[in-house]
Structure 1
Amino acid sequence: MHISRHLGTNIVDKVLSGRHSAEYSSRNFFQYNIQKELLQKEDFQSFVKFIRKYEICVKDLIFQHILEEMSEDKALCKLKSQNLKVIVKKITDATERASKGEDGVLLPDNKESITELIKNMRIFLIKDISLSEEAEKTALFQIQSTCHPFKESLIRSLSEMNEQLQEEFSKSENITETVNKLPTKPQDELFSRVFGCGQQCPFCKVPCEAGGKKHEKHHAAVHRPQGLGRCRMVDSEKLVETLCTTDVNSEGKFQCADTNGEWHPYKEFAKIYPDWLIPPDYTREASDYWKYVLVKYNDRFAQEYNAKPADVPEAWKSITREQALNGLKEAFNIKD
């Protein structure tokens, strides 16, 4: 249906121009806002979901934005109503044009002219409505009137249909169900704008910062303490507080399912994860944001990951929530 075909795009435009417009202006700003919201909510499981199920977390947030935007002032009903007006006008205009010959004179008022009228309408509406030849033949077989009464009856029926559907659209509806049935999913369109490629660092789970799917290597400017991504020391079972960039510059080793349980040098991580670029740099530090998060939820992460709490540096324990937010702004280059 024409209304549904364009509704997904309409919803995307509405979200991009609505209350969340700034968040969708860039991938960086979207990421900043998600993490800022997590900091403000102070809900541990939300952090776990963001770290471990990043794609689902982002999709859920986008869908929430859509629901907020479409629930306000019957926005979804209005969009459907606007689309209906557009297609009804197109069909009405096409009917008027199709009822005339190339010379601009009305077609003769006989049954044969109906064939030409419908054929003309198919041409004029080819971009908007799909009408097969089989459907055309069936319609012609059922029509008993001549051309002029048929045209008037068609225009009258369009007007009546418009009124009926407008009344139907004015009633409340299940927005979630409507959006999920659309041929063009607005959540997918918005997701592709802000999500990037979707891959996460195998150690700390930071998302790749490269846009789209076409790039040679996955990369991130700043990695997180690896314990947040579930990495733990084998002997002590403590969550790892060091960064991936530090360990790939060390003589340390790691083991996991991807190494078939065998020990593998961090320096040679690319043999296991050839798609990731993690520059060796022991001078880099995690942002104050993730230091704060690991300190605040150290015991909870340990419990969640069936490990023991990380040995976090004493300096991390003095980081305030305000400093964590400033660290987040710095990481994403957000200016007040």
Structure 2
Amino acid sequence: MHRHFLSARDPKIQLEKYRPQYLLDFIDLYKKVDHCQRKADAFVTLCIKPAVEEYISRHLGTNIVDKVLSGRHSAEYSSRNFFQYNIQKELLQKEDFQSFVKFICKYEICVKDLIFQHILEEMSEDNTLGKLKSQNLKVIVNKIKDATERASKGEDGVLLPDNKESITELIKNMHRHLTKDISLSEEAEKTALFQIQSTCHPFKESLIRSLSEMNEQLEEEFSKSENITETVNKLPTKPQDELFSQVCGCGQQCPFCEVPCEAGGKEHEKHHAAVHRPKGLGGYRKVDSKKLSETLCTTDVNSERKFRCAATNGEWQPYKEFAKIYPDWLIPPDYTREASDYWKYVLVKYNDGFAQEYNAKPADVPEAWKSITREQALNGLKEAFNIKD
């Protein structure tokens, strides 16, 4: 960043950057050539086009979010519960242990990867990404043309005088009319208009023509296929982050069982979840036996049990006083609550796998859990997220 700051202000580097432009200016000046159109082209290329591209990039992330929310996956994004239900249903059907591990241990990464796949599917169909760019291009080009027409007149509504000095006033007015939409580089502007010999009226007409040519050029560029992943990852507003925030909230996970917080958005005092999971799924084990824990956080905070971890510096801490260590989490003490059949089924099915993953011994799961079928697990999932058939 520091190097970029110095480079942008190094006279030698800047002169070298714009040397071709200055050379053409001096040639025109020497030959006494009318360079009105070339100056307008330079102004559009150096000042307006970068600002237009920045405008498109700035709005594209939000456009993609809207497209996903109204596209083929719209039902999945209709509510937080339905989104979570679909992810976990897919995990159940996929029957891949490592996918469960990723979902539990790297929840945000896992979900954003899935969201990104939805984005790729939506954007790759019928060049949707290019069409979104074109829509933004149309909006901003129309605004620039309108601003140019308005800028060519004074406050009294009368056209600016047709002299060289009025070009400065024209550009100044354009800045004012476009300030809410784009920012034009003053440094590039000085370079583009250096030694301009034209007068205001023909320059304005040349500028309108150059804008139309730029529009056609970008339209052609947007009509071609591109690397969607690269484009999306360069956007200032990451659509996968925005969608994650909408359907997954803050993304924080329970420090014991790794269940994600269910509070909407990022502005809430306490993280909370309606139903917690067996803690062994998050790697918690019993100290004496090294077996994964099958109990729930809500049960443990209502007991005399203790825990220790990196957050307690290895010191034992009563579960009842967990808030001293994790003040941002609300885990209500309730020994009557049970895990959903879904997570009971998952722990039973992959008990050995989780034990190996966490370098522990398999959990002592209740016998009743072992009789839960996949269909019952799915029904438990529906019940947990209040999904009606």
Aligning the two structures, in what range does the TM-score lie when normalised by the shorter sequence? over 0.9
TM-score by length of 2: 0.81
- Length, aligned pairs only: 335
Q: CA RMSD in A?
A: 1.9
SS of residue in 2 equivalent to 1:184: coil
Cα-to-partner distance string for 1:197-234 (whole Å, 9 max, x where unaligned)? 32222211111222233433322111111110111122
| Structure 1 range deviating more: 129-138 or 31-40 | 129-138
Q: 1:213 to 1:169 in 2, by over 3 A?
A: closer
Q: Kindly tell me: are residues 325 and 127 of structure 1, through their superposed partners in 2, closer, same or farther at Cα, counting changes over 3 Å?
A: same
Cα 1:214/1:119, change in 2 over 3 Å: closer
Question: What is the Cα deviation at residue 44 of structure 1?
Answer: 0.9
Map Cα deviations across residues 23-65 of structure 1 (whole Å, 9 max, x no partner): 3232222222221121121111111011111121122122222
Distance 2:310 2:155 in 1: 73
Cα shift at 1:137? 4.5
Q: Secondary structure at the match of 1:299?
A: helix
Task: Give per-residue Cα distances to partners, 1:84-112, cap 9 Å, x unaligned.
Answer: 12222222222222223444443333222
Distance 2:130 2:331 in 1: 49
Provide the residue aligned with 1:109 in structure 2.
162
- Partner deviation per Cα, 1:265-317 (whole Å, 9 max, x = no partner): 33333333333222222221100110111111111111111111112122212
Question: 1:48 aligned to 2:101?
Answer: yes
* CA gap 1:276/1:295 in 2 versus in 1, 3 angstroms: same
Q: CA deviation digits over 1:62-93, x for unaligned, max 9?
A: 22221111111111111111111222222222
Q: Distance in 2 between matches of 1:268 and 1:182?
A: 43
Pairwise CA distance, 1:139:
4.2
CA distance in 2, matches of 1:253, 1:129: 58
For 1:267 and 1:183, the matched residues in 2 are separated by 43
Query: C-alpha distance in 2, partners of 1:317/1:78?
Result: 52
Identical columns (%): 92
Equivalent positions of 1:22-101 (< 5 A) are 22-101=75-154
TM-score by length of 1: 0.93
Larger mean Cα displacement after TM superposition, 237-246 or 290-299: 237-246
Distance 1:216 1:147 in 2: 59
Deviation at 1:169, TM superposition (A): 1.3
2:257 matches 1:204: yes
Taking the aligned partners of 1:126 and 1:267, their CA distance within structure 2 comes to 56
Q: Could you tell me how far 1:258 is from its partner in structure 2?
A: 2.6
- How has the CA–CA distance of structure 1 residues 116 and 308 changed in structure 2, closer, same or farther, with 3 Å as cutoff? same
- Listed as ranges, the gaps of 5+ residues in structure 1 are none
Write out per-residue CA displacement over residues 134-160 of structure 1, whole angstroms, 9 at most, x where no aligned residue: 555444434221222211211111111
- Match of 1:141, SS state, is coil
Residue range with higher mean Cα deviation, 88-97 or 159-168:
88-97
Given that 1:44 and 1:297 are in contact with CA atoms closer than 8 Å, whether structure 2 keeps it comes out as yes
Q: 1:68 to 1:312 in 2, by over 3 A?
A: same
Contact 1:203 / 1:231 at 8 angstroms: preserved in 2? yes
Report if the CA contact (8 A) 1:250-1:267 is conserved: yes
Instruction: Tell me how far apart the structure 2 counterparts of residues 13 and 68 of structure 1 sit (CA, whole Å).
Output: 14
Q: Secondary structure at the residue paired with 2:77?
A: helix
Separation in structure 2 between the aligned mates of residue 323 and residue 137 of structure 1, nearest angstrom: 71
* Aligned mates of 1:329, 1:286 — CA distance in 2: 13
Moved more, 113-122 or 293-302: 113-122
Q: 1:161 offset after TM fit, Å?
A: 1.2
Query: Which string of whole-angstrom CA distances, capped at 9 and with x for unpartnered residues, describes residues 154-181 of structure 1?
Result: 1111111111111111121111111111
Match of 1:146 in 2: 199
Q: 1:294 to 1:125 in 2, by over 3 A?
A: same
Alpha carbons of structure 1 residues 101 and 245: separation in structure 2 relative to 1, 3 Å: closer
After superposition, the Cα gap between the structure-2 partners of 1:147 and 1:264, relative to the gap in structure 1 and judged at 3 Å, is closer
Q: Tell whether the 8 Å contact from 1:223 to 1:244 is kept in structure 2 after alignment.
A: yes
Cα distance in 1, alignment partners of residues 277 and 360 from structure 2: 18
Q: Shift in Å at residue 249 of structure 1? A: 2.3
CA distance, structure 1, for counterparts of residue 329 and residue 111 of structure 2: 22
Q: Which whole-Å CA distance do the structure 2 matches of 1:153 and 1:91 have between them?
A: 14
Contact 2:134/2:219 (CA < 8 Å) preserved in 1? yes
Q: Residues of 2 paired with 1:119 and 1:268: CA distance?
A: 64
Structure 2, unpaired ranges of 5+: 1-54
CA distance in structure 1 between the aligned counterparts of 2:350 and 2:343, rounded to whole angstroms: 10
2:4 corresponds to which residue? none
Partners of 2:245 and 2:266 within 8 A in 1: no
Deviation of 1:322 (Å): 1.6
After superposition, the Cα gap between the structure-2 partners of 1:215 and 1:161, relative to the gap in structure 1 and judged at 3 Å, is closer
**Equivalent position SS for 1:324:** helix
Q: Aligned pair in 2 of structure 1 residues 246, 169: CA closer, same or farther (>3 Å)?
A: same
Residue 132 of structure 1: CA displacement? 5.0
